[in-house]
Structure 1
Amino acid sequence: MSKVSTNISLDADLKKASQELYSDLGMDLSTAVTIFLKQSLRVQGIPFTVSRENHNAETVAALNEYYEMKAHPEKYKHYSSFKDAINDVLGE
């Protein structure tokens, strides 16, 4: 099978991080892209689900609580250590 060269544009940080990952897995970026393309042909589509983030209600509530705490830190207790927080919870 003959090979052809293909150019793609990537964010530099994405390329570097991907090269490091695939190197740890024993392959180069070209091999990883080839695997992706072969799997795409095998499944006749993108070989993983592509969707927008869809958080469940519990995650949405936790995120909203985080944003509230970040916006109004004066409303919440602060501890100088984890031990102090545990002692407060345990009433010690």
Structure 2
Amino acid sequence: MAGKADTSMTIRMNREVKEEAQMIFSELGMDMTTAINVFLRQAIYHSGFPFEVVLHAPNDVTLSAMKSAEEGKDMHGPFDSVSSLMDALNNA
């Protein structure tokens, strides 16, 4: 890629996301442009996102537990000790 002219791009993003990202990148010693270039180079290297991009929808067990919690059912604790927690888990 050496010898090719630089170019620019304009993107829109949420202001808070931008500010949070800038703070993180600053702590890593880079600016937003450098961070985006790192991301793009990694995307090229991996021929896609350089990390997993998935939707994790709650499964039926999780949905059931969330519903029970909202309804105040099957609630346990608080526990005064680890042993009382373990007793409750072993007797469930």
Normalising to structure 1: TM-score of the pair? 0.64
Residue equivalent to 2:37: 34
Per-residue deviation, 1:7:
0.4
Specify whether residues 12 and 67 from structure 1 end up closer, same or farther in structure 2 by C-alpha distance, changes over 3 A only. farther
CA RMSD of aligned residues (A): 3.0
Q: Which amino acid aligns with 1:35?
A: V
* C-alpha distance in structure 2 between counterparts of 1:68 and 1:18, whole Å: 37
Unaligned runs of 5+ in 1: 80-84
* C-alpha distance in structure 1 between counterparts of 2:77 and 2:52, whole Å: 41
Unaligned runs of 5+ in 2: 86-92
Specify whether residues 4 and 37 from structure 1 end up closer, same or farther in structure 2 by C-alpha distance, changes over 3 A only. same
Which secondary structure state, in structure 2, belongs to the residue aligned with residue 20 of structure 1?
A: helix
Per-residue deviation, 1:35:
0.6
Which secondary structure state, in structure 2, belongs to the residue aligned with residue 86 of structure 1?
A: coil
| 1:22 correspondence with 2:22 | no
| 1:67 correspondence with 2:61 | no
Specify whether residues 63 and 86 from structure 1 end up closer, same or farther in structure 2 by C-alpha distance, changes over 3 A only. farther
- Aligned ranges 1:76-91 → 2 under 5 Å: 76=75, 85-86=79-80, 89=84
Q: Which amino acid aligns with 1:73?
A: G
Query: Following TM superposition, where does structure 1 have runs of at least 4 consecutive aligned residues deviating by more than 4 angstroms?
Result: 74-79
- For these two proteins, the number of residue pairs brought into alignment is 82
**Greater helix proportion:** 1
Contact preservation (8 Å) 2:25, 2:31: yes
Q: State, as a whole percentage, how many aligned pairs show the same letter.
A: 25
Normalising to structure 2: TM-score of the pair? 0.64
